[in-house]
Protein backbone atom coordinates (compact mmCIF):
# COMPACT_ATOMS: atom_id res chain seq x y z
CA UNK A 1 0.00 0.00 0.00
CA UNK A 2 2.90 2.37 0.59
CA UNK A 3 3.53 1.90 -3.11
CA UNK A 4 0.00 3.13 -3.88
CA UNK A 5 0.68 6.26 -1.89
CA UNK A 6 3.94 6.83 -3.69
CA UNK A 7 2.15 6.86 -7.04
CA UNK A 8 -0.23 9.57 -8.22
CA UNK A 9 1.39 12.56 -9.87
CA UNK A 10 4.52 10.41 -10.39
CA UNK A 11 2.74 7.94 -12.68
CA UNK A 12 4.11 7.87 -16.17
CA UNK A 13 1.88 8.91 -19.06
CA UNK A 14 0.87 6.44 -21.78
CA UNK A 15 3.43 5.82 -24.53
CA UNK A 16 4.37 2.86 -26.72
CA UNK A 17 6.94 1.93 -24.10
CA UNK A 18 4.32 2.07 -21.41
CA UNK A 19 2.22 -0.42 -23.35
CA UNK A 20 5.17 -2.82 -23.53
CA UNK A 21 5.86 -2.34 -19.84
CA UNK A 22 2.26 -3.06 -18.98
CA UNK A 23 2.50 -6.29 -20.96
CA UNK A 24 5.72 -7.27 -19.18
CA UNK A 25 4.13 -6.54 -15.82
CA UNK A 26 1.05 -8.52 -16.85
CA UNK A 27 3.17 -11.52 -17.84
CA UNK A 28 4.92 -11.44 -14.48
CA UNK A 29 1.65 -11.13 -12.57
CA UNK A 30 -0.24 -13.79 -14.53
CA UNK A 31 2.69 -16.16 -14.21
CA UNK A 32 3.03 -15.55 -10.48
CA UNK A 33 -0.64 -15.48 -9.49
CA UNK A 34 -2.55 -17.22 -12.25
CA UNK A 35 -5.39 -15.65 -14.18
CA UNK A 36 -7.87 -15.55 -11.30
CA UNK A 37 -5.32 -14.22 -8.83
CA UNK A 38 -4.27 -11.35 -11.09
CA UNK A 39 -6.00 -7.98 -11.06
CA UNK A 40 -5.65 -5.02 -13.38
CA UNK A 41 -4.99 -2.99 -10.26
CA UNK A 42 -2.09 -5.33 -9.37
CA UNK A 43 -0.63 -5.12 -12.87
CA UNK A 44 -0.94 -1.33 -12.73
CA UNK A 45 0.96 -1.30 -9.46
CA UNK A 46 3.83 -3.38 -10.90
CA UNK A 47 3.94 -1.32 -14.10
CA UNK A 48 3.59 1.88 -12.08
CA UNK A 49 0.74 3.21 -14.20
CA UNK A 50 -2.85 4.17 -13.55
CA UNK A 51 -5.26 1.21 -13.83
CA UNK A 52 -7.38 3.36 -16.15
CA UNK A 53 -4.53 3.34 -18.65
CA UNK A 54 -4.60 -0.47 -18.74
CA UNK A 55 -8.35 -0.41 -19.30
CA UNK A 56 -7.79 2.14 -22.02
CA UNK A 57 -5.20 -0.01 -23.82
CA UNK A 58 -6.63 -3.48 -23.24
CA UNK A 59 -10.24 -2.97 -22.06
CA UNK A 60 -10.47 -6.21 -20.02
CA UNK A 61 -8.27 -8.57 -18.03
CA UNK A 62 -9.05 -11.23 -20.60
CA UNK A 63 -7.79 -9.06 -23.48
CA UNK A 64 -4.75 -8.07 -21.46
CA UNK A 65 -4.00 -11.75 -21.00
CA UNK A 66 -4.45 -12.56 -24.69
CA UNK A 67 -1.95 -9.84 -25.57
CA UNK A 68 0.46 -10.71 -22.77
CA UNK A 69 0.70 -14.36 -23.74
CA UNK A 70 1.00 -13.44 -27.42
CA UNK A 71 -2.09 -15.25 -28.63
CA UNK A 72 -2.56 -14.42 -32.32
CA UNK A 73 -6.34 -14.23 -31.96
CA UNK A 74 -8.79 -14.00 -29.15
CA UNK A 75 -10.32 -17.47 -29.23
CA UNK A 76 -13.47 -16.37 -27.42
CA UNK A 77 -14.29 -13.98 -30.24
CA UNK A 78 -14.10 -16.46 -33.06
CA UNK A 79 -14.48 -20.03 -31.93
CA UNK A 80 -17.98 -20.06 -30.46
CA UNK A 81 -19.42 -18.91 -33.78
CA UNK A 82 -17.60 -21.71 -35.60
CA UNK A 83 -18.89 -24.51 -33.44
CA UNK A 84 -22.28 -23.27 -32.24
CA UNK A 85 -24.84 -26.07 -32.38
CA UNK A 86 -22.01 -28.63 -32.75
CA UNK A 87 -22.30 -29.14 -36.50
CA UNK A 88 -20.95 -32.51 -37.70
CA UNK A 89 -17.96 -30.77 -39.26
CA UNK A 90 -17.19 -28.67 -36.18
CA UNK A 91 -13.72 -30.17 -35.82
CA UNK A 92 -12.93 -29.46 -39.47
CA UNK A 93 -14.16 -25.89 -38.98
CA UNK A 94 -11.92 -25.44 -35.96
CA UNK A 95 -8.92 -26.85 -37.81
CA UNK A 96 -9.65 -24.80 -40.93
CA UNK A 97 -9.79 -21.70 -38.81
CA UNK A 98 -6.53 -22.54 -37.03
CA UNK A 99 -4.79 -23.15 -40.34
CA UNK A 100 -6.09 -19.82 -41.65
CA UNK A 101 -4.29 -18.15 -38.73
CA UNK A 102 -1.13 -20.24 -39.10
CA UNK A 103 -0.95 -19.73 -42.86
CA UNK A 104 -1.22 -15.97 -42.54
CA UNK A 105 2.36 -14.63 -42.21
CA UNK A 106 1.53 -12.37 -39.27
CA UNK A 107 -0.57 -14.98 -37.53
CA UNK A 108 2.14 -17.57 -38.02
CA UNK A 109 4.78 -15.25 -36.66
CA UNK A 110 2.78 -14.77 -33.49
CA UNK A 111 2.01 -18.46 -33.09
CA UNK A 112 5.65 -19.40 -33.56
CA UNK A 113 6.79 -16.69 -31.17
CA UNK A 114 4.31 -18.07 -28.64
CA UNK A 115 5.44 -21.67 -29.14
CA UNK A 116 9.07 -20.63 -28.82
CA UNK A 117 8.46 -18.75 -25.61
CA UNK A 118 6.34 -21.59 -24.25
CA UNK A 119 9.20 -24.00 -24.97
CA UNK A 120 11.91 -21.77 -23.56
CA UNK A 121 10.20 -19.95 -20.68
CA UNK A 122 8.17 -21.71 -18.04
CA UNK A 123 6.28 -18.46 -17.45
CA UNK A 124 4.57 -18.59 -20.82
CA UNK A 125 4.04 -22.34 -20.63
CA UNK A 126 2.29 -21.86 -17.31
CA UNK A 127 0.07 -19.09 -18.65
CA UNK A 128 -1.01 -21.20 -21.58
CA UNK A 129 -1.57 -24.23 -19.42
CA UNK A 130 -3.61 -22.65 -16.66
CA UNK A 131 -5.63 -20.15 -18.51
CA UNK A 132 -6.04 -20.96 -22.16
CA UNK A 133 -6.69 -24.61 -21.55
CA UNK A 134 -8.68 -24.60 -18.31
CA UNK A 135 -10.45 -21.28 -18.59
CA UNK A 136 -11.06 -20.83 -22.29
CA UNK A 137 -10.66 -23.88 -24.47
CA UNK A 138 -12.22 -26.55 -22.29
CA UNK A 139 -15.35 -24.58 -21.29
CA UNK A 140 -15.89 -23.44 -24.88
CA UNK A 141 -15.73 -26.96 -26.27
CA UNK A 142 -17.89 -28.33 -23.47
CA UNK A 143 -20.50 -25.65 -23.99
CA UNK A 144 -20.63 -26.35 -27.71
CA UNK A 145 -21.20 -30.05 -26.97
CA UNK A 146 -18.01 -31.01 -28.79
CA UNK A 147 -16.37 -32.89 -25.95
CA UNK A 148 -17.73 -35.76 -23.91
CA UNK A 149 -17.73 -36.36 -20.17
CA UNK A 150 -17.59 -34.40 -16.96
CA UNK A 151 -15.09 -31.61 -16.40
CA UNK A 152 -12.18 -33.92 -15.56
CA UNK A 153 -12.82 -36.15 -18.55
CA UNK A 154 -13.26 -33.13 -20.81
CA UNK A 155 -9.89 -31.75 -19.71
CA UNK A 156 -8.29 -35.11 -20.35
CA UNK A 157 -9.84 -35.34 -23.81
CA UNK A 158 -8.91 -31.78 -24.74
CA UNK A 159 -5.36 -32.46 -23.54
CA UNK A 160 -4.97 -35.21 -26.12
CA UNK A 161 -6.51 -33.08 -28.86
CA UNK A 162 -4.13 -30.25 -28.00
CA UNK A 163 -1.15 -32.59 -28.16
CA UNK A 164 -2.04 -33.34 -31.77
CA UNK A 165 -2.61 -29.68 -32.61
CA UNK A 166 0.67 -28.65 -30.97
CA UNK A 167 2.52 -31.39 -32.81
CA UNK A 168 1.09 -30.20 -36.11
CA UNK A 169 2.29 -26.64 -35.46
CA UNK A 170 5.76 -27.80 -34.42
CA UNK A 171 6.03 -30.41 -37.18
CA UNK A 172 4.79 -28.21 -40.02
CA UNK A 173 6.05 -24.76 -39.12
CA UNK A 174 8.98 -25.26 -36.75
CA UNK A 175 10.81 -28.47 -37.64
CA UNK A 176 9.16 -28.36 -41.07
CA UNK A 177 8.94 -32.10 -41.61
CA UNK A 178 8.73 -32.16 -45.38
CA UNK A 179 5.52 -34.13 -45.79
CA UNK A 180 3.73 -31.87 -43.30
CA UNK A 181 5.30 -28.60 -44.43
CA UNK A 182 4.48 -29.11 -48.09
CA UNK A 183 0.97 -30.52 -47.80
CA UNK A 184 -2.14 -28.53 -48.53
CA UNK A 185 -3.91 -27.60 -45.27
CA UNK A 186 -7.04 -29.43 -46.44
CA UNK A 187 -5.05 -32.65 -46.73
CA UNK A 188 -3.78 -32.22 -43.20
CA UNK A 189 -7.23 -31.38 -41.91
CA UNK A 190 -8.64 -34.55 -43.48
CA UNK A 191 -6.10 -36.70 -41.61
CA UNK A 192 -6.12 -34.87 -38.31
CA UNK A 193 -9.86 -34.27 -37.91
CA UNK A 194 -10.70 -37.94 -37.19
CA UNK A 195 -7.95 -37.98 -34.55
CA UNK A 196 -9.36 -34.93 -32.81
CA UNK A 197 -12.89 -36.26 -33.06
CA UNK A 198 -11.86 -39.52 -31.44
CA UNK A 199 -10.00 -37.75 -28.65
CA UNK A 200 -12.86 -35.35 -27.97
CA UNK A 201 -15.94 -37.46 -28.26
CA UNK A 202 -15.46 -41.15 -28.97
CA UNK B 1 43.37 -28.55 -49.84
CA UNK B 2 45.72 -25.81 -48.67
CA UNK B 3 44.02 -26.26 -45.31
CA UNK B 4 44.94 -29.97 -45.31
CA UNK B 5 48.56 -29.06 -45.89
CA UNK B 6 48.47 -26.58 -43.04
CA UNK B 7 47.45 -29.35 -40.61
CA UNK B 8 49.68 -32.21 -39.51
CA UNK B 9 51.96 -31.48 -36.59
CA UNK B 10 49.77 -28.45 -35.75
CA UNK B 11 46.65 -30.54 -35.04
CA UNK B 12 45.41 -30.28 -31.53
CA UNK B 13 45.45 -33.39 -29.31
CA UNK B 14 42.23 -34.95 -27.99
CA UNK B 15 40.75 -33.34 -24.89
CA UNK B 16 37.23 -32.86 -23.55
CA UNK B 17 37.21 -29.51 -25.32
CA UNK B 18 38.23 -31.15 -28.56
CA UNK B 19 35.27 -33.50 -28.31
CA UNK B 20 32.93 -30.51 -27.91
CA UNK B 21 34.60 -28.74 -30.82
CA UNK B 22 34.22 -31.79 -33.02
CA UNK B 23 30.51 -31.86 -32.16
CA UNK B 24 30.16 -28.16 -32.97
CA UNK B 25 31.96 -28.67 -36.29
CA UNK B 26 29.77 -31.70 -37.01
CA UNK B 27 26.60 -29.70 -36.35
CA UNK B 28 27.77 -26.98 -38.72
CA UNK B 29 28.70 -29.49 -41.42
CA UNK B 30 25.56 -31.62 -41.13
CA UNK B 31 23.41 -28.48 -41.15
CA UNK B 32 25.21 -27.06 -44.19
CA UNK B 33 25.62 -30.21 -46.28
CA UNK B 34 23.07 -32.71 -45.01
CA UNK B 35 23.93 -36.16 -43.75
CA UNK B 36 24.99 -37.59 -47.11
CA UNK B 37 27.04 -34.53 -48.04
CA UNK B 38 29.00 -34.56 -44.79
CA UNK B 39 32.21 -36.54 -44.35
CA UNK B 40 34.24 -37.26 -41.26
CA UNK B 41 37.19 -35.85 -43.18
CA UNK B 42 35.25 -32.60 -43.73
CA UNK B 43 34.28 -32.34 -40.06
CA UNK B 44 37.92 -33.00 -39.11
CA UNK B 45 39.01 -30.16 -41.38
CA UNK B 46 36.55 -27.72 -39.79
CA UNK B 47 37.45 -28.84 -36.26
CA UNK B 48 41.13 -28.86 -37.20
CA UNK B 49 41.73 -32.36 -35.85
CA UNK B 50 42.88 -35.65 -37.31
CA UNK B 51 39.99 -37.68 -38.80
CA UNK B 52 41.27 -40.66 -36.77
CA UNK B 53 40.40 -38.76 -33.60
CA UNK B 54 36.80 -38.46 -34.72
CA UNK B 55 36.67 -42.17 -35.45
CA UNK B 56 38.18 -42.77 -32.05
CA UNK B 57 35.55 -40.67 -30.26
CA UNK B 58 32.48 -41.48 -32.32
CA UNK B 59 33.35 -44.56 -34.41
CA UNK B 60 30.97 -43.78 -37.31
CA UNK B 61 29.38 -40.83 -39.08
CA UNK B 62 26.04 -42.11 -37.89
CA UNK B 63 27.13 -42.07 -34.21
CA UNK B 64 28.69 -38.67 -34.70
CA UNK B 65 25.37 -37.42 -36.00
CA UNK B 66 23.39 -38.95 -33.12
CA UNK B 67 25.67 -37.15 -30.65
CA UNK B 68 25.73 -33.90 -32.60
CA UNK B 69 21.96 -33.60 -32.78
CA UNK B 70 21.61 -34.59 -29.13
CA UNK B 71 19.55 -37.70 -29.68
CA UNK B 72 19.08 -39.41 -26.30
CA UNK B 73 19.41 -42.88 -27.84
CA UNK B 74 20.58 -44.31 -31.09
CA UNK B 75 17.30 -45.42 -32.63
CA UNK B 76 18.95 -47.91 -34.96
CA UNK B 77 20.26 -49.86 -31.98
CA UNK B 78 17.00 -50.33 -30.21
CA UNK B 79 14.01 -49.93 -32.47
CA UNK B 80 14.50 -52.75 -34.98
CA UNK B 81 14.45 -55.29 -32.15
CA UNK B 82 11.21 -53.85 -30.82
CA UNK B 83 9.29 -54.06 -34.06
CA UNK B 84 10.88 -57.02 -35.87
CA UNK B 85 8.21 -59.14 -37.51
CA UNK B 86 5.67 -56.33 -37.05
CA UNK B 87 3.92 -57.74 -33.96
CA UNK B 88 0.34 -56.49 -33.56
CA UNK B 89 1.43 -54.37 -30.59
CA UNK B 90 4.45 -52.89 -32.38
CA UNK B 91 3.14 -49.35 -31.99
CA UNK B 92 2.57 -49.85 -28.28
CA UNK B 93 6.11 -51.23 -27.99
CA UNK B 94 7.52 -48.20 -29.76
CA UNK B 95 5.56 -45.83 -27.56
CA UNK B 96 6.45 -47.74 -24.40
CA UNK B 97 10.10 -47.52 -25.34
CA UNK B 98 9.87 -43.79 -26.09
CA UNK B 99 8.17 -43.16 -22.75
CA UNK B 100 10.89 -45.15 -20.96
CA UNK B 101 13.43 -42.71 -22.42
CA UNK B 102 11.32 -39.64 -21.69
CA UNK B 103 10.52 -40.72 -18.13
CA UNK B 104 14.18 -41.27 -17.30
CA UNK B 105 15.53 -37.94 -15.96
CA UNK B 106 18.66 -38.01 -18.12
CA UNK B 107 16.80 -39.16 -21.21
CA UNK B 108 14.19 -36.49 -20.69
CA UNK B 109 16.80 -33.81 -20.25
CA UNK B 110 18.35 -34.72 -23.59
CA UNK B 111 15.00 -34.93 -25.37
CA UNK B 112 13.94 -31.56 -24.00
CA UNK B 113 17.27 -29.99 -24.90
CA UNK B 114 16.85 -31.36 -28.41
CA UNK B 115 13.28 -30.09 -28.73
CA UNK B 116 14.34 -26.68 -27.46
CA UNK B 117 17.18 -26.42 -29.91
CA UNK B 118 15.00 -27.68 -32.73
CA UNK B 119 12.46 -24.97 -31.90
CA UNK B 120 15.00 -22.20 -31.52
CA UNK B 121 17.70 -23.08 -34.07
CA UNK B 122 16.94 -23.95 -37.64
CA UNK B 123 20.23 -25.90 -37.78
CA UNK B 124 18.98 -28.58 -35.41
CA UNK B 125 15.50 -28.61 -36.95
CA UNK B 126 17.08 -29.25 -40.34
CA UNK B 127 19.24 -32.05 -39.03
CA UNK B 128 16.29 -33.81 -37.47
CA UNK B 129 14.18 -33.30 -40.53
CA UNK B 130 16.63 -34.55 -43.15
CA UNK B 131 18.33 -37.31 -41.35
CA UNK B 132 16.28 -38.77 -38.56
CA UNK B 133 13.10 -38.80 -40.53
CA UNK B 134 14.23 -39.65 -44.05
CA UNK B 135 17.28 -41.75 -43.33
CA UNK B 136 16.45 -43.56 -40.12
CA UNK B 137 12.84 -43.54 -39.03
CA UNK B 138 11.09 -44.03 -42.35
CA UNK B 139 13.31 -46.88 -43.64
CA UNK B 140 13.16 -48.64 -40.29
CA UNK B 141 9.37 -48.54 -40.12
CA UNK B 142 9.04 -49.52 -43.78
CA UNK B 143 11.39 -52.45 -43.34
CA UNK B 144 9.48 -53.68 -40.31
CA UNK B 145 6.27 -53.57 -42.35
CA UNK B 146 4.73 -51.05 -39.97
CA UNK B 147 3.90 -48.39 -42.52
CA UNK B 148 1.88 -48.71 -45.68
CA UNK B 149 2.57 -47.45 -49.18
CA UNK B 150 5.51 -46.52 -51.37
CA UNK B 151 8.30 -44.31 -50.15
CA UNK B 152 6.40 -41.03 -50.64
CA UNK B 153 3.31 -42.35 -48.91
CA UNK B 154 5.40 -43.80 -46.09
CA UNK B 155 7.06 -40.43 -45.49
CA UNK B 156 3.67 -38.79 -45.46
CA UNK B 157 2.29 -41.30 -42.98
CA UNK B 158 5.33 -41.12 -40.72
CA UNK B 159 5.08 -37.32 -40.78
CA UNK B 160 1.60 -37.47 -39.23
CA UNK B 161 2.72 -40.03 -36.67
CA UNK B 162 5.66 -37.82 -35.72
CA UNK B 163 3.39 -34.82 -35.33
CA UNK B 164 1.46 -36.74 -32.65
CA UNK B 165 4.64 -37.93 -30.94
CA UNK B 166 6.13 -34.42 -30.98
CA UNK B 167 2.93 -32.97 -29.58
CA UNK B 168 2.95 -35.51 -26.75
CA UNK B 169 6.51 -34.55 -25.81
CA UNK B 170 5.73 -30.84 -25.94
CA UNK B 171 2.35 -31.17 -24.22
CA UNK B 172 3.48 -33.49 -21.40
CA UNK B 173 7.04 -32.37 -20.71
CA UNK B 174 7.35 -28.81 -21.97
CA UNK B 175 4.01 -27.03 -21.58
CA UNK B 176 2.96 -29.68 -19.07
CA UNK B 177 -0.73 -29.65 -19.85
CA UNK B 178 -2.06 -31.03 -16.60
CA UNK B 179 -4.04 -33.97 -17.95
CA UNK B 180 -1.07 -35.12 -20.03
CA UNK B 181 1.62 -34.36 -17.47
CA UNK B 182 -0.08 -36.24 -14.65
CA UNK B 183 -1.30 -39.29 -16.53
CA UNK B 184 0.34 -42.67 -16.32
CA UNK B 185 2.32 -43.41 -19.50
CA UNK B 186 0.22 -46.53 -20.10
CA UNK B 187 -2.91 -44.39 -20.18
CA UNK B 188 -1.33 -42.11 -22.76
CA UNK B 189 -0.09 -45.05 -24.80
CA UNK B 190 -3.59 -46.54 -24.88
CA UNK B 191 -5.00 -43.32 -26.38
CA UNK B 192 -2.18 -42.46 -28.73
CA UNK B 193 -1.44 -45.93 -30.15
CA UNK B 194 -4.66 -46.11 -32.24
CA UNK B 195 -3.83 -42.67 -33.66
CA UNK B 196 -0.36 -43.76 -34.72
CA UNK B 197 -1.68 -47.03 -36.11
CA UNK B 198 -4.20 -45.18 -38.20
CA UNK B 199 -1.61 -42.73 -39.51
CA UNK B 200 0.89 -45.46 -40.31
CA UNK B 201 -1.17 -48.23 -41.76
CA UNK B 202 -4.90 -47.62 -42.16
Task: Assess whether pLDDT exceeds 70 at residue B93.
Answer: yes
What is the model's pLDDT at position A1?
38
pTM over 0.95: no
Confidence class for position A70, pLDDT limits 50, 70, 90: confident
Query: In whole angstroms, what is the distance from residue B34 CA to residue B99 CA?
Result: 29
Confidence class for position B131, pLDDT limits 50, 70, 90: confident
Q: Does residue B179 sit at the A interface (CB-CB below 8 Å)?
A: yes
Query: In whole angstroms, what is the distance from residue B64 CA to residue A163 CA?
Result: 31
Average pLDDT over chain A reads 87
More confident residue, A130 or A148: A148
Is A119's CB within 8 Å of B170's CB?
yes
Q: Which residues of B touch A162 (CB under 8 A)?
A: 167, 171, 177
More confident residue, B118 or A186: A186
Query: In whole angstroms, what is the distance from residue A127 CA to residue B21 CA?
Result: 38
Task: Assess whether pLDDT exceeds 60 at residue B12.
Answer: no
Confidence class for position A13, pLDDT limits 50, 70, 90: low
Q: Does residue A44 sit at the B interface (CB-CB below 8 Å)?
A: no
Confidence class for position B13, pLDDT limits 50, 70, 90: low
Task: Assess whether pLDDT exceeds 50 at residue B166.
Answer: yes
Task: Assess whether pLDDT exceeds 80 at residue B3.
Answer: no
Q: Does residue B110 sit at the A interface (CB-CB below 8 Å)?
A: no
Is A192's CB within 8 Å of B119's CB?
no
What is the model's pLDDT at position A118?
81
Task: Assess whether pLDDT exceeds 80 at residue A74.
Answer: yes
Is B163's CB within 8 Å of A178's CB?
no
Complex prediction ipTM: 0.82
More confident residue, B19 or A76: B19
Task: Assess whether pLDDT exceeds 60 at residue B193.
Answer: yes
Which among B111, B132, B137, B179 is the top mutation candidate for probing chain A, defined by the most A β-carbons within 10 Å of its own β-carbon? B179
A25-65 pLDDT per residue, tens: 998 898 888 888 899 999 999 999 999 999 999 999 989 98
The values of phi and psi at residue B197, to 5°, are: -60, -45
Task: Assess whether pLDDT exceeds 70 at residue B84.
Answer: yes
More confident residue, A161 or A112: A161
Least confident span in A22-31, A39-48, A112-121, B148-157: A112-121
Task: Assess whether pLDDT exceeds 60 at residue A194.
Answer: yes
Q: Which residues of B touch A168 (CB under 8 A)?
A: 163, 167
Average of pLDDT values for B87-113?
A: 92
Which among A147, A159, A176, A193 is the top mutation candidate for probing chain B, defined by the most B β-carbons within 10 Å of its own β-carbon? A159
For residue B118, which of B75, B164, B159, B68 has the smallest C-alpha distance?
B68
Which of A129, A178, A191 minimises the CB distance to B177? A129
Is B170's CB within 8 Å of A167's CB?
yes
More confident residue, B2 or B151: B151
Asked if B12 contacts B2 with a C-beta cutoff of 8 angstroms, the reply is no
DSSP string for residues in chain A: -HHHHH-STTSPPP-HHHHHHHHHHHHHHHHHHTTTT--HHHHHHHHTS-HHHHHHHHSSHHHHHHHHHT-SS-HHHHHHHHHTT--TTHHHHHHHHHHHHHHSHHHHHHHHHHHHHHHH-HHHHHHIIIIIIIIIIHHHHHHTT-S-SSHHHHHHHHHHHHHHHHHHHIIIIIS--HHHHSS-HHHHHHHHHHHHHHHHH-
Q: What percent of chain A stands above pLDDT 70?
A: 93
Least confident span in A50-59, A138-147, B13-22: B13-22
Q: Does residue A116 sit at the B interface (CB-CB below 8 Å)?
A: yes
A150-174 pLDDT per residue, tens: 989 999 999 999 999 999 999 999 8
Query: In whole angstroms, what is the distance from residue A71 CA to residue A53 CA?
Result: 21
Which of B156, B162, B191 minimises the CB distance to A171? B162
More confident residue, B124 or A67: A67
Amino acid sequence: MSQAVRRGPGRRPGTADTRAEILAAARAEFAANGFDGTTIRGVARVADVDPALIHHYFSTKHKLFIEAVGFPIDPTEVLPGLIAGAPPDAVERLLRYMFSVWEDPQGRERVLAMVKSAVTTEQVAGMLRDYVLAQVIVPMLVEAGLVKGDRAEAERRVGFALSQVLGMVVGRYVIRIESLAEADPEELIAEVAPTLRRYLSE
